[in-house]
Amino acid sequence: MRIIRVKYTIKRILNVIKALASLLISEIIRRPVVWGYPPIMIIEPTNVCNLRCPMCPGIVGKRFGQKGFLSMENYQALIDDVGDYVFQILFWNQGEPFIHKSFLDMVRYAKQKGIMAVASTNGYFIRNDEEAENIINSGLDQLIFSMDGTNQESYEKYRVGGNFNQVLGGLKRLSEARVRLKSKTPMIELQFIVFKHNQQEIDQLIKMAKTFHIDRLSLKSAMIYIAEQSEKFLDKDQMEALYKIENNEISRCDKLPNRCDRLWLNGVVNWDGTVVPCCFDTDNEYVFENIFTSGIKYTKVWRNKAYQDFRASVLKDRMQNDICRNCTEGVPEPYAKIVDLWDLS
């Protein structure tokens, strides 16, 4: 079992209790009551990426032409504002975090505040033993490796422009460095998006994960944003189980409840300071504020009118919001199936 390092302060514990209580009350009375602040923050270091995955919002979305990097100054100001309340920071949204030259400094700053730090990577920037050791020494608690194939032919069908052996080499270096430095962190999770062209490779993936001492696997359902992509990446059974297409518009088959935990428990800040409801707002359709250009602190935005109006709309009729129609929050079947490797040994 891997050790996740979080500083459990009275303020953080009380904040979680407040957030959960206000979520429950909101669902009962059907209007938004918000106490405390988000225990989990998604912070986007950058939306720049070295790959061209065809279904990634960073490629097909409206933010494609709006690339940039979160400055260390803005990041530190944000953490200083919310850090006493936050248990966990997820360093992702769009983009590859390790492209950001100061990314590991961001991790170190979070760890100085006693916050759990989690990141997701395509694995290209662990090019030598030094880079692998730098990740471990930064204090990063968990690293998710995206690898949607067990060979070059399968891998590059979705990870366009990718090199399977380079990613495999990065995974091997990090695993070996963790053993060499006698570190229990980061927990390494191998993430595999299941498409029709790779769904027969899961047994091989498990063997690979055991070889490199991976802690757990995440088998994710593919997210389709454009109707034409469904035929290329999903087989008939996958499509019928997950999606329906009406007037060339994609939506989930499952009936979604008029509730969303993320709006009470998760905050999202993009690299440019835009505050949005969640990671499903891929095109910044619902920006509640820009905390970097306005100078308004995130803790003030968390309960502002725009945020509260959006929460109210979800409690009333979630499907009226475009971004909710392809969302996985609240669906009966989990979006990702997590498999702990020690359960398979």
% of the chain residues with pLDDT over 90 = 72
- Chain segment 247-286, per-residue pLDDT in tens: 777 777 777 889 999 999 999 999 999 999 999 898 999 9
* Contact yes or no for 284/270 (Cβ under 8 A): yes
Q: Which has the minimum average pLDDT: 54-68, 92-106, 165-179?
A: 54-68
Q: Which has the minimum average pLDDT: 84-88, 154-158, 159-163, 254-258?
A: 254-258
Task: Give how far the C-alpha of residue 98 lies from the chain's centroid of Cα atoms, to the nearest Å.
Answer: 14
Residue of higher predicted confidence among 220 and 135: 135
What pLDDT was estimated at residue 342? 63
What pTM was computed for the model?
0.92
* Contact yes or no for 216/189 (Cβ under 8 A): yes
What pLDDT was estimated at residue 4? 62
With residue 218 as reference, give the H or E element that holds it: strand 216-221
* Contact yes or no for 57/63 (Cβ under 8 A): yes
What pLDDT was estimated at residue 56? 82
SS3 state of residue 305:
helix
From residue 31, alpha-carbon distances to 22, 262, 288, 298, 308 in Å are 10, 15, 18, 22, 9
From residue 9, alpha-carbon distances to 6, 36, 39, 114, 144 in Å are 9, 14, 12, 9, 27
Average pLDDT, the chain: 90
What pLDDT was estimated at residue 55? 83
Rounded mean pLDDT, 114-126: 96
- Measure CA of the first residue to CA of the last residue in the chain; give whole Å: 13
Buried/exposed code over 311-335 (b: 16+ C-beta within 10 A; e: otherwise): bebbbeebeebebbebbbbbbeeee
* Contact yes or no for 154/192 (Cβ under 8 A): no
What pLDDT was estimated at residue 230? 76
What pLDDT was estimated at residue 284? 92
- Residues contacting residue 93 through CB under 8 Å, at least 6 positions apart: 42, 44, 47, 268, 270, 279
What pLDDT was estimated at residue 306? 98
* pLDDT for residue 171 is more than 90: yes
What pLDDT was estimated at residue 263? 97
Give CA–CA dist 339/317, Å, rounded: 34
Give CA–CA dist 279/223, Å, rounded: 12
* Contact yes or no for 136/183 (Cβ under 8 A): yes
Query: What is the pLDDT confidence band of residue 326, given thresholds at 50, 70 and 90?
Result: confident
* pLDDT for residue 1 is more than 50: no
- Chain segment 6-43, per-residue pLDDT in tens: 889 999 999 999 999 999 999 999 999 999 999 999 99
Rounded mean pLDDT, 184-199: 93
% of the chain residues with pLDDT over 70 = 93
Residue of higher predicted confidence among 181 and 238: 181
Give CA–CA dist 118/110, Å, rounded: 10
